[in-house]
């Protein structure tokens, strides 16, 4: 049972890392090009709201991996949203 629990945690950790860091290239590209015209403001706002709710959920259940992954993702998304508002 312990081995399967460790495998489950490892899979969850890798998934959280990938889905969190996937926003970094987008943010860096926007900083480099200052181009946000093709980004949907509504889609990013909806996604950020969903991530914020996942963050609240993580806090409510006391899950550090869920909290950390969603906190970092939310910070990256808020950064992208602020660049979208700044650069149009």
DSSP string for 7-34: HHHHHHHHHHHHHHHTHHHHHHHHHHH-
Encoding tokens for residue 23?
């926003």
What does the pLDDT look like over 7-50, one tens digit per residue?
Answer: 888 888 898 899 989 989 998 999 999 999 999 999 999 999 99
What is the C-alpha to C-alpha distance for residues 28 and 53, in angstroms, rounded to an integer? 25
Full-prediction pTM beyond 0.85? Answer: no
- pLDDT for 7 equals 82
Range 60-69 average pLDDT: 91
Asked if pLDDT for residue 72 goes beyond 70, the answer is yes
Question: How far, in whole angstroms, is CA 22 from its chain's centroid?
Answer: 8
């Amino acid at each position: 049972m312990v081995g399967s629990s460790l495998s489950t945690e490892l899979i969850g950790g890798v998934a959280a890392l990938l889905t969190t860091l996937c926003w970094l290239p987008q943010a860096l590209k926007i900083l480099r090009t200052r181009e946000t015209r093709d980004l949907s403001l509504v889609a990013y706002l909806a996604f950020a709201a969903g991530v914020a709710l996942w963050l609240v959920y993580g806090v409510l259940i006391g899950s550090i991996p869920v909290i950390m992954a969603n906190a970092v993702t939310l910070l990256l998304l808020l950064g992208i949203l602020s660049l979208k508002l700044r650069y149009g």
